[in-house]
Each structure stands twice: as structure tokens, then as C-alpha cells.
Amino acid sequence: MLAALAALTTLVLLFHRRIPNTPGRLGSLVESFLPWCWLVLVVLFGLALLRRAPLAMLTLLVPTAVWAHQYGVLLPEPRSDGHDLVVVQHNVSDENTDPRGTASELSAAFPDLIALEELLPKARAVYERGLAGSHPHHAVVGTVGLWSKYPLTGVRAADIKPAGITEPWNRGLRAVVEAPQRDIAVYVAHLPSIRIGASGLASRWRDESARKLGAEVAAEKTDTVLVLGDFNGTVDDRGLTPLTSQLDVPDRGLAFSYPAAFPVARIDQIMARSANVGRIRPLPSTGSDHLPVRARIALDPLSAAPSASPGRSTR
């Protein structure tokens, strides 16, 4: 029985895309918590030890190796100087009572770019003052914003609003960062929330918004693209396939970011085209219900940069 459960866990890790999404978007629900398969493995190992079942323990080595490979826990750290930019992504929360302290925490990470979501008008002024010294260039569209050490041009809204939302809703931004290495198109987005209920995972609006953002990125003429934001989904979730299929995602680090009190998933994402996203790390807690995440970005050589490149993630 233990060996059979080990084999089943291996199949889920390797072939989770084959799990049907109906009823209740079951596939996406499983994929949202796929990193937590390690808990299943720990329990199975414990039972195998209690039962003194060597066959089960040997069988469990397979899903353990698969999990470790998929989530990069055994991959070596890249050289510390092998990056061009440092970026921070943070949903600062519209209920954040300490925006000044949050701005200070984000600036202390020494990023080149900071993407923020859930910006309220009153808090926006606090972030503008708090980040002005370290990041003199910024742009805000609706409730999302981008702060940069380098000049910004071509700022506009990114249309990611689902058709079913009729009230005012503007949670997508596109800007070009004039970085020393080259121009980089940056998208900041806050996709709609999902809900888990008796009927399963409710993600229709999130999935539609992801498709619209994916279409914007695919049509982007600038070779190098960064996509940052609160996507309300993990990189394993098939609902984000319109993005993960064409963008590079972090190949190291789990960096759970939500909820801040006890993080169980990373729904705050950093993705790239014609660039490599290194290990992603959580930053200290702020006044938000999300943790900030930080990653180093290594740009591809210009001569090798395609107009669109598939992401490496095949989870």
C-alpha cells in the first residue's frame, strides 16, 4: 500500500496536467498546492519506517527526487555576480496601516525595480515620498505601480479586465524601463482573486485576465520583458499557462508569499522573456497580508534574444 501511494504521488508530480479540471477545476486546485507534496512524502516515509518496509522506502526515493528536481532545492546557487537587475514584487494591501515602513523595507532590499499592487490614493503619496530617494522614477495606473532607478517611458494601462467585471477596474500597467543594458518592457498586474468553496476552485475571472495579459506580452515588440504582479495563482496552476508557456519562471526557491502570517503558496510572481529569473526569495513581513518577493534577473545576450521564448518550467 505504501509503495502504491508513493507511485501515485510520483504520477501526480509528473502528470498533474492530466488531472481533469472538471468538476470544480480540480486540476488547478491540485496544482496550487503541488509543492506541499513533501508533507505526503514525510508521512509515507514515517509509516515505512514504522512498518520496517524497505521496498516502500526505496519506492519513496523516486517521488522525493522528482519533487526536489521540480522545485530546485538541489540546484546550486548561481554566481552572485551573474545578474543585471534586482526586482521586488509586493502586494502592499489596501489595509496596510504602515505604508511608510513598507516603503522602507522594500528600499532596504536594494532593488532596481519595485512593483506594487493594491495602491490606494492616500497610501500612494506615502510610497512616492518614501521611495523617491532610491527610486526617482515611477508610474501608477489604477491600483498598480512601478518604481524604478531608471527612466520610464511608454507608460500605459494594460487591458486585463475580465468581461464580467462591470465596475471601474484598472489593475494592469505597461512601461519601458531605460536600463543601462537595454530597454526592458515591464508589465505590472494584479489578476482577480480566486475562491475555494464547496463547488471547487472559482478562477474564471483570474484565468480570463491571465489570457488577456498573455496576449499583451505575446504582442510586445520589445525583446526583453519582465512581468511582475500578484497573479492569485502559482506557476504550476494551469490557469497561468498563457504566461508560463512563454515566460521564464524561477527555477529555484519556493518563496511562499501568502498569507503573510503563515505562507502556503507563492502567488506573487516574477517572470521574464529573454532573461533568466534566478532564485526567488521572500523578504521580511510588512504591514501587508502578502510577503514581498525578490529575485535577480540575468538578461540574455542581445544576439540571442528571440522575440518570444518559451519558459523552462514544465511542471
pLDDT of residue 306: 45
Please give the single-letter amino acid code of residue 92.
V
Over residues 32-55, the pLDDT tens digits come to: 888 889 889 999 999 999 988 888
Kindly report, residue by residue over 217-244, the tens digit of the pLDDT: 999 999 999 999 999 999 999 999 999 9
pLDDT at 150: 98
Query: Could you tell me the three cell numbers for 158?
Result: 494594460
Residue that wins the pLDDT comparison between 280 and 75:
280
Q: Measure the CA–CA gap between 142 and 113, rounded to whole angstroms.
A: 18
Q: Which segments of 189-309 does DSSP mark as H helices, in order?
A: 204-219, 241-244
| Cα dist from 165 to 170, 172, 233, 289, 308, whole Å | 11, 14, 19, 24, 30
Tens digit of pLDDT for each residue in 132-143? 999 999 999 999
pLDDT above 70: percentage of residues in the chain: 91
Q: pLDDT value at position 68?
A: 86
Residues 109-134 have a mean pLDDT of 96
Q: Look at 296 and 23; give whichever has higher pLDDT.
A: 296
Distance from C-alpha of 88 to C-alpha of 228, rounded to nearest angstrom: 9
pLDDT of residue 310: 46
Query: For residue 159, what is the DSSP state?
Result: -
- The model's pLDDT over 288-304, given as tens digits with 9 standing for 90+, comes to 999 999 999 999 987 54
Long-range contacts of 280-283 (CB under 8 A, 24+ apart): 280/250, 280/252, 280/253, 280/255, 281/253, 281/255, 282/255, 282/256, 282/257, 283/88, 283/90, 283/105, 283/106, 283/109
In the chain, % helix, strand, coil (3-state, to 5) comes to 35, 25, 45
Mean pLDDT of all residues belonging to the chain: 90
Q: How many CA atoms lie within 13 A of 54 on its CB side?
A: 0
